[in-house]
Structure 1
Amino acid sequence: MSLDLTSDLLQINFKMPQGSKNGMYSFDRYKLDVEKLMLYRDDTEISLPPKIVKTLAVLIENRGSILSKDELIEKVWVDSIVEESNLSQNLYVLRKTLGAKPDGGQYIETLRRRGYRFTSDVQIMERTPDLSNGTEAKTSRTQIGVEREGNVLRLVDWTIPERLDKNAIATPDAPASRKSSLLKYTFAIILYAAAASAATALYLYSRPENVTSAERHADLTVTRLTTGNYVRDATISRDGNYFVYNEELDGTSRVWLQQTGRSQRVEIIPGGKWPICCKTFSPDGKFIYFLVTGAREKRNDLYRVATLGGMIEKVLEDVNSHVSFSPDGEQIIFQRYSAEKKSASFIIAASDGKGDQRELLASNEQFRLVYAAWAPDGKKIAFTSATQDPRSEGVCSLSTLDLESRAINPISNERWGTCYRMEWLRDGSGLVMIGTREGETNSTKRDQVYFISYPAGRSHRLTNDGNRQEYQSLGVTNDGAILAVPYSRSSQIWSLDANGDSRTAVQLTTGTADGRGSIAPLPDGRVGYTGRSGDAINVWIMNADGSNQEQVGDAAAVQDLNVTPDGKYFVYANESGKDSVLYRMGTDGSDPVELSTSEEFVIDSTVSPDGARLVYDVWKTNGNSHDVELRNVPFNGGESFTLTRDNCGVPHFSPDGAYVSCINFSRPKVAVLSAKDGSTVAVFDAVRSALLNSGAHWTPDGRALVYIVHQKNVSNLWKQPIDGGNPEPLTDFTNGSCYSLAYSWDGSRIYVARGDEIRDAVLITNYK
C-alpha cells in the first residue's frame, strides 16, 4: 500500500536547521523533501523510515562539513539516548539505497576517527505541486517504515476486512448442525528465540483511502519496563501494579516479579531445570498461574503461587495453554491436547482445580483449537483456530462462542498467517493479539501486536519497528495498557580460524540479518548466505574477505542454503504461499529449478560430497506438533527413498558421504545415521541450552560434530566427538549470540553468523 504522507501521516515537528525555505534539495537523480522526510529517485518515492531520511537530511544540510558520530546522533535523535549501532544501521541503509555516485564514489564519506560528510553537489529547490498535496507519487517500497522519536509511536496498516469463509467445527455440547466461521492457517514452525528493543519508538501511521479522518488515532506511547533483562514469557496484573517474567540462564528458569515503574524485582519461584511458561495473573491479582513441563510425565501441569511469593500449589494436570479467567475469577478456560486422539479441546474448570472439568469445544479433522480468552461480560469466549494442513493457503481464524446458545461467529474477517495469545480489553471494546497477517510470515511484520475492535472486527497493528513480538508474552491492564516483549536479533557474518580462537575473528558483513538463516561457502572461496532486503530473505554472495556483496536470484523467502561441491549450484528452500519447495539455481542466480514437489513442505537440505545425492527434511502437521522425515534423492533425478521417519531434521552429510547428522526434535538429541539405509549409528545428548535449529555440522576431518550452545547469555560453538567423548567448547566468544555456522571448503576457516539479542518488556498505551 502506497503511503500518502501528505494526508495520512500524523505530522512530526523536527527542529532542524533549514537550508532551504521549502526544505527541498536535489542531487543527481534524487530529491529530498526535508519537511515531509521523503526521498525520491527519478520522482519515484523511496519508502524509508523517517529517521533514516532525517539522517540524510542532516548530512545534506551540513554538506561539506565533517560531522562526528556524536554530533550526527545529537542532531538526528534530539533529546534521546541511542546506541551508535542505530546510526551505523541508518548509514548502511542510506548507502545501500543511494548506491554509488556517477563518478563511482560514495555519497556519504567516512573519515576515520573524524566522522561523516556528504560529498555530492546539492541544489536547493522550490516545492512543486507533484511532490506535495496534489499528486500521488509512485512508490518503490524498498524498506520497512520504522520511526523512533522519544517516547512516542505512530501506527500503520488499517485493514478493511474481506468476507469470511465458513467451515465446520465440532461442539460437543451443542447440536451438530451449528457451524463455525473459520479461515485457513499457514504452516509456521516456532523457534523460541529472542531479543527486544531497548529503546522507545515512533511509528508511521497510515490508513486506506476509505477510512475517514475521524478514525485517526492519537500518538501511541511505549514505555520500557526492564533494562537489559533477558525477558521471556511476561504478563502484567490487571491493576497494572506488577508484571512477571522468566529469565533463562544455562537451562535454569527463574521467575521474577517486578513492580511496574520500579527496577527492584523479587524471585518468586526458585530456579530449576524444569521449563516454566504461560503465566497469567488471577483477576484479583492474588495469584500467578503458570505451566510446568515435567521431566518424567512429559506433560504440562498447571500450578499457582501467591503473587508476592509463597507455597507453590498444583492446580490441574495436562494443560496446554495459558489460562483465561471468567470475570468473577471462579473458572478458567484452557486448551488440552490429546496425543491419543491427536486433537485439541477447550476445557472449563474451577480456578482452584476442584470439581468437574467440562469440554466446551473440540477440534475436528480440518481445524485445531489454539487459544481462548473469556470475554469481560462472561457470556462468550473468543478463540483462535488453525487448519491441520501446513500447506493450507489460509489463515488462523478468530471467532466467538456464545456460552448459552453455542453459536459461533467470526470476530475478524481478515486473513491471518499466525495468531497467538490474545486478551480482551476490560470494557469489551476489543482484543489485543500477537499475530501475523496473511502473506507477511517471512517479513519483518511477523508476530506483531494488534488491536482488534469488537464487534466491528477491524484491526490495526500497534508495533512496527522491525522487531518480532514474543508470542507468549502479553497482558492487558484494567485501563487498557498492554504489556509486550519485542525482540530483535541483529546478525552479521564473521570469519575465524578453524581452531575457534575468537581473537582471529573478523567481521565480514554489516547487515541486520546476514547469514542468520544459513551460510554456504563455495569451493572457489566465495561465500553464499541468506540476507534480508526489505521484507525479503534472499540469497547473497560475497568474496571471502566480505567484499563485492550482491544479491543473486529472485527467491524472496529463503529458509536454508547449500552449495554443490563443484560450486555451480545453490540449493535452497523457498517458501511461497502454502508451499516450501526445494530449488536449485546457478550460483550466478540463473535457471532456478524445483527439486521437490509442492506436496512436500521442505526446510533444510544437504548435498553429498560427490554431488550425486540430496537429503532433505519434510515437515507434516500432527495435531499440536510436527512430524519430520528425511528423504534421500538423486540430485539429478531418479528413485528416492525415506531415510528416517524418526522426527530427525536439519541434515548434514559427513565429509566422506557415508553418514548424515540430524537433530531429533522429540528428545532433543543429535543423531548420526547411515546415508545408505538410515540406520542409527550414534546418538548424543545435546549440551544443555543447545540451539539446534542450525543442525550439527561435521568438522573437516569427520571426527566431531559442531553445534551452537547459548549459556550465560553468550553463544559459542561446541564440539561433540564422534567416538563418544564429552562435548567441549570450540569457540570462546564472551558476548553476542550465534545463529548459524559453516566451514570453508579447505577447512581452514569457520564462518559464523552472530550478533546481539535485545529483549525487554514494554508497556503500550494511548493506542485507541
Structure 2
Amino acid sequence: MENFSQSQFGPFLIDVRERVLLRDGQPVPLTPKAFDLLAALVAQPGRLISKEDLLQKVWPETFVEESNLAYNVCALRKALGDPAENGRYIGTVSKQGYRFTATVSPVNPANGGQPSSEGTAEIGREAFTGESRLSILAEVNEEPAPPRRLTTSVPPDVEKTVLPFLRQDPVRRYQTIADAKVAHEDLDADSSGTAQRHVPPRSFAFSRRWAALFALAPVLPAAVYFAVQSRRVSSEPLRALPLTSLQGVMRSPSLSPDGNYVVFTWTGPKQDNSDIYVQQIGAGSPHPLTSDPSNDYSPSWSPDGRTIAFLRREPSGGKSGVWRIAPLGGTERKVAEIQPRLAMYRPISLAWCPDSRCVLVTDSPGEGKWDAVFLIALDTGEKRQLTYPEGQVLDVDPAISPDGRSLIFRRDTTPFSGAFYRVSLKANAVPDGEPVRLTSTLSAGRPAWMPDSREILFAARGALWRLDARTRGTPTRLPFVGQDGLTPVVSRTLDGRQRLVYMRSFADGNVWRVDTSAAGVPASTPPVAAIASTRSDQIPNLSPNGLQVAFLSNRSGESEIWVAAPDGSNADQLTSLGITPGFPRWSPDGKLIAFHGDPEGRPDILLVSSRGGKPRNLTTNMPNGGFPSFSRDSQWIYFTVVQSGEARIWKMPASGGAGVQVTNNIGTIAIESHDGRDLYYVERAERPSSVWRLPLGSGAPVKVLDGVVLGTFDVVEGGIYYIDRLSSEAGVQVTGR
C-alpha cells in the first residue's frame, strides 16, 4: 500500500505534507499544534492514543502541562464543527486519552483526488451483522471460541487464564482486577517452574529494580508500600507491596545513605502534631525522634548517615528553625533561624551538602528582597547566599548533586509554579556562572538527584519524572510507579543497587454548603457536600443570583476554573490554560469571572466570560497582580500588587486601563461593602491576619478583627463571615461590621 500524504474523513481532507485542512475544498484555519494533533489522531483512526503519546508527538522537545493537550482538543473539535466530547470525529476516553472515531480513507492524488481503495480504515463498520435484530443479538451473546480452536500452539494453562477475559457471561469473567492479577501471577510462576515466594526488602532495587515508598495522605489512611520488580524477569512491571499502614498524614520522606531506613514526618497515633519518625524498611514500627508541640517538617538524612536535619516552624508561623538530631534520637540542637516569605503557601525543603558539613535552605535576604537559596554551616550557623533572584521570583527547593558540582533549584514566579534551574559549583559550593534554565514553567515539587549526578527526579502532573540536568531535553515519566507521587528521594544500597522513596498523596477536597435563614443566624441544617468529584474541588465563589458556583478543580487532570450548579450538576470547565489559576470571583452582574494565574510566568489578573472563551490579561502593564474582586457596580476590579516585597491593594477598570493604588499599608485580599462605601481587606493570606475597613470616600483604615486564617473572609449585608482557627470553637464565624 502506498503512503499517501492526503486522507479524507467526512467532508474534510487533510494533507500532512502541505499542512492544510480543507472542508469541501475550503481551508479550515488551525494553529500549528492543533494541526499536529489532528494529524496524529488521523494517522491511527479507531486506536486509543494515550495522553502521554500525544504530548510526545505534538510537543516532542518540550515539557508542557496536560491542559495544553485538552485545550487543543477543544479547539480542534470546534474547528471540525463537532464540539461534543464524544462526537463524530474525536472521542474521549476518560483519564486515558483520545480516539479518532470517523472513517478515514487515504487519498491518491494520481487518482483525481479520490479515496484510495487500499488501506481504508474500517472505522464505523458494524462489528456484528445478521438478517434480523434477533440474529445480531444472538451473535453478540455467543460465547467466544476457545483460543486453541484458532491455533493449537496455545498452551492449556494460557487458554485457561485468557478465557475469563473473553466470556460473555459476567459471572464467568474475572470479578476484580485483583483476580486477574493473581491468575496472571500463578501462570507466570508455573511457567518458570517455581512457586511464588516473598521477596525480602533487601533485594529491592532501583533503575532496573526499583523500590518505592508511598505515604497515602491526607484523605485516606497513610500507607507505605514497596514497588518491587522480580530479579527473574527484568521487564516485569513493578509491584507495590504494603510496608506500613498508618492513620494520619505522612510527608517528606528521606532515605538513609545505605537505603535501609526512612525518616519522615507523621501526625502520630493521635494525629495531633507533626513530628519526625524513623522507620526501618521492611521491619518494625516507626520510632519517634521529636515530640515538640511545634510543627516539625522537611527532615533530611545526612550523606554520612550521622545526622538528621529538619525544620521546625515557630509558633508565630513566620519563622522556622533549622535543627539537627542523631538518627537514634537524643538532644536536639538548633543551628539557625530562617524566615522565607512564602513558607505558609508551600512548605520549603532542606537539603544537605555532599560533605555533610552544611545544609541548603530557602530564606529571605532581607526586607524588600525575594527568597533565595542559602548555605548554612552546621558548626557555626553562618549563612551564605548562593542565588540572587531578580524581579518578582523566589528560589526554592535546592539540591546539590552528589559530586558537588551542580546546584538544582526551582525559581517560582507564583507560590505554586516555576521552572527548574541549574548552576555550576566550584569548590566549597561557590557558584560558577549564571543559573541555566532547564524546564518551562510548571507546577512541580522538589527535585532529587540520582547517584550519577546527571539526572534529577521530580513530581509534576500527578506523576514522577526524570530529566537530564546537564543536557536538559524533555522529561521522561517513570513507568509503573509514581501515580500521585511527591517528594522522591534516591539512595544507593550497600550492595550497589539503588532505592527510591516517595510519598503518594491523594486529596479529595469537596465544596460544602451550609444553609441559614439570614446572615449571622446559626445554620438550620448540618453541612452537606455540594460539589464533589474524585479529585480536588476548592475555592468556591457563588454567583450573584445564587444559581452557579465558580471553583478550582483538577478533575480533568490539571487545575482549572470550573462552573457548576450549587448541587454540582451541569459542571463545565471554563479554562484550559495550564497556568495554575486561582481565586475565581464573579462580577455582580454575573457576566464575568476574574481570577489570577501566571500565563506569562508571573502573577497576573485574568478576566473571562462566565460563558467561556479566551481569558484576557488585565495586568500586563502592572508589576504583577493577584486576588481579584469586583466593585459592587462591576466597573472596577480590586487586586493586590507586590512591590519591594510588600503587598498593597490597587484597583483598575474592569474594561482595562491604568491601575490606582488604594491602600498605603499592607493588604492582600479586598472586598467592597454592599453599599459601596467601604473596602474591607485582610493584611496577609499566608498566615493568620487582621481584617481592616477603609472608607472609600475619605478617612483612615480601622482594624475590624484579628486572626483570620489564610484570607478566608467574605462581606455580606450586615456582617463578615470568616474562619478563625484561634477561636475556642474553630470554624466559620460571623461578626457585625
TM-score band by shorter chain is 0.5 to 0.7
TM-aligned CA distance change 1:232 to 1:632, over 3 Å: same
Task: Output the CA distance in 2 between the equivalents of 1:316 and 1:613.
Answer: 46
Q: Which one of the candidate residues 606, 611, 616 is aligned to 1:588?
A: 611
Asked whether the equivalents of residues 152 and 201 of structure 1 are also in contact (C-alpha less than 8 Å), the reply is: no
Q: SS at the partner of 2:498?
A: coil
Q: 1:256 aligns with which of 274, 277, 281?
A: 277
- Give the conservation status (yes or no) of the 8 Å contact 1:631–1:642: yes
Provide the residue aligned with 1:629 in structure 2: 648
| Aligned residue type for 2:651 | N
1:289 alignment counterpart:
309
Distance 2:576 2:563 in 1: 13
CA contact (8 A) 2:681 2:692 kept: yes
The residue number in structure 2 matching 1:434 is 458
CA distance 1:292–1:683, change in 2 (3 Å): farther
Residue in 2 aligned with 1:671? 691
Residues 401, 453 of structure 2: 8 Å contact kept: no
Cα 1:549–1:79, aligned 2, differ >3 Å: closer, same or farther? farther
Do 1:646 and 1:664's aligned partners in 2 also have CA atoms closer than 8 Å?
Answer: no
Shift of 1:65: 6.1
Match of 1:41 in 2: 101
1:516 matches 2:531: no
1:561 is aligned to 2:561: no
> Structure 1 residue 669: deviation in Å?
0.6
Match in the other structure for 1:376: 402
Deviation of 1:523 (Å): 0.6
- Equivalent of 1:461 in 477, 490, 512: 477
1:498-647 to 2 correspondences below 5 Å: 498=516, 504-513=526-535, 515-523=537-545, 525-532=547-554, 534-552=556-574, 557=579, 558-578=581-601, 580-589=603-612, 594-597=617-620, 599-619=622-642, 627-635=646-654, 640-644=659-663, 646-647=665-666
The structural deviation recorded for 1:230 is 0.2
Contact 1:411–1:455 (8 Å) recurs in 2: no
In the other structure, the counterpart of 2:261 is 242
2:736 equivalent to 1:718? no
Residue type matched to 1:460 in 2? T
When residues 67 and 280 of structure 1 are mapped into structure 2, their CA distance, relative to the original with a 3 A threshold, is: same
Scaled by the length of structure 1, the TM-score of the pair is: 0.57
> Which one of the candidate residues 701, 705, 708 is aligned to 1:680?
701
C-alpha spacing 1:363/1:581, structure 2 compared with 1 (3 Å): closer
Native 8 Å contact 1:570 1:586 kept in 2: yes
Q: Is the Cα contact below 8 Å between 2:407 and 2:423 reproduced in 1?
A: yes
| Aligned mates of 2:166, 2:730 — CA distance in 1 | 45
Evaluate the alpha carbon distance shift between residue 322 and residue 29 of structure 1 in structure 2; reply closer, same or farther with a 3 A threshold: closer
Q: Pick the aligned partner of 1:280 from 296, 300, 305.
A: 300
Match of 1:450 in 2: 465
Pair 402,591 (structure 1): closer, same or farther in 2 beyond 3 Å = closer
2:82 counterpart residue number: none
Range with greater deviation from structure 2 (602-611 or 461-470): 461-470
Identity across matched positions, percent: 17
Residue from 506, 510, 522 that aligns with 1:488? 506
**2:386 touches 2:431 (CA, 8 Å); kept in 1?**
no
Distance (whole Å) between structure 2 residues aligned to residue 450 and residue 705 of structure 1: 42
1:19-58 matched pairs, under 5 angstroms: 41-42=101-102
1:231 partner amino acid: M
CA distance in 2, matches of 1:152, 1:38: 35
Q: 1:27 deviation in Å?
A: 13
Residue 487 of structure 1 and its aligned partner are, at CA, apart by 2.0
Structure 2: how far apart are the matches of 1:279 and 1:261?
A: 20
Aligned to 1:102: none
Look up the SS of the partner of 1:606 in the other structure: strand
Instruction: Tell me by how many angstroms 1:231 deviates.
Output: 1.2
2:411 corresponds to 1:386: yes
Measured in 1, the distance between the counterparts of 2:671 and 2:171 equals 50
Q: Distance in 2 between matches of 1:531 and 1:360?
A: 38
Contact kept in structure 1, 2:535 and 2:555, CA below 8 Å: no
Bigger relative contact order, structure 1 or 2 (CA pairs below 8 A, ≥6 apart): 1
Q: CA deviation at 1:31?
A: 9.6
Partner SS state of residue 664, structure 1: coil
Cα gap change, 1:628 to 1:40, in 2 (>3 Å): same
Shift of the 645–308 alpha-carbon distance from structure 1 to 2, 3 Å rule, reads farther
Query: Structure 2 CA distance, aligned partners of 1:681 and 1:659?
Result: 11
Partners of 2:615 and 2:605 in 1: how far apart?
A: 10
> Does the 8 Å contact 2:531/2:567 carry over to 1?
no
CA distance in structure 2 between the aligned counterparts of 1:38 and 1:573, rounded to whole angstroms: 30
Q: Counterpart of 1:283 in 2: which secondary structure?
A: coil
Rounded to whole Å, the distance in 1 between the matches of 2:699 and 2:252 is 38
> Which runs of 5 or more structure 1 residues have no equivalent in the other structure?
11-25, 46-56, 81-150, 156-192, 204-215, 437-443, 724-768
SS in structure 1 of the partner of residue 590 of structure 2: coil
- Give the deviation of 1:239 after TM superposition: 2.0
1:576 aligned counterpart, secondary structure: coil
> Does structure 2 retain, via aligned residues, the 8 Å contact 1:520–1:561?
no
Deviates more, 1:308-317 or 1:458-467: 458-467
Q: 1:335: Cα distance to partner?
A: 5.3
Return the match for 1:402 from 402, 407, 426.
426
Counterparts of 1:154 and 1:517, CA distance in 2:
40
Match of 1:312 among 316, 322, 332: 332
CA pair 586-533 structure 1, distance change in 2 beyond 3 A = same
Q: 1:697 aligns with which of 714, 721, 735?
A: 714
Deviations 1:603-649 (A, max 9, x none): 322223343443222346x6xxx643222334456775322354432
1:410-436 CA distance string (max 9 Å, x none): 78854453665344334x253434355
Residue 707 of structure 1 corresponds to which residue in structure 2? 723
- CA gap of 1:496–1:64, structure 2 versus 1, over 3 A, is farther
1:246–1:673 CA distance, 2 compared to 1 (3 A): farther
TM-align CA RMSD: 5.4
Aligned counterparts of 1:633 and 1:7: Cα–Cα separation in 2? 45
Offset at residue 72 of structure 1 (A)? 5.7
Change over 3 Å in CA distance of 1:614–1:64 after alignment to 2: farther
Q: Which residue of 1 aligns with 2:491?
A: 476
| Cα distance change on mapping 1:580 and 1:640 into 2, 3 Å | closer
The residue identity in structure 1 corresponding to 2:506 is S
**Structure 1 pair 583–231 and aligned structure 2 pair: CA distance change class (3 A):** same
Distance 2:651 2:91 in 1: 54
Structure 1 or 2, whichever has the larger Rg, is: 2
Q: In 1, distance between residues paired with 2:317 and 2:535?
A: 39
Partners in 2 of 1:592 and 1:457 — Cα distance? 32
Q: Match of 1:497, as an amino acid?
A: D
Which residue number in structure 1 is paired with residue 449 of structure 2?
424
* CA deviation vs aligned residue, 1:251-279 (integer Å, no higher than 9, x gap): 84322222223462222211313x43332
One-letter identity of the residue aligned with 2:671: H
Letter in 1 for 2:101: R
Contact persistence 1:345–1:369 (CA under 8 A):
yes
Partner of 2:388: 363
Equivalence map 1:97-176=2 (5 Å): none
CA displacement 1:472-492 (0-9 Å, x = unmatched):
x74535443222223222234
Per-residue deviation, 1:663: 4.8
Shift of 1:409: 8.5
The residue number in structure 1 matching 2:111 is: none
Match of 1:314, SS state, is strand
**Letter matched to residue 254 of structure 1:** D
What code does the residue aligned with 1:719 have?
Q
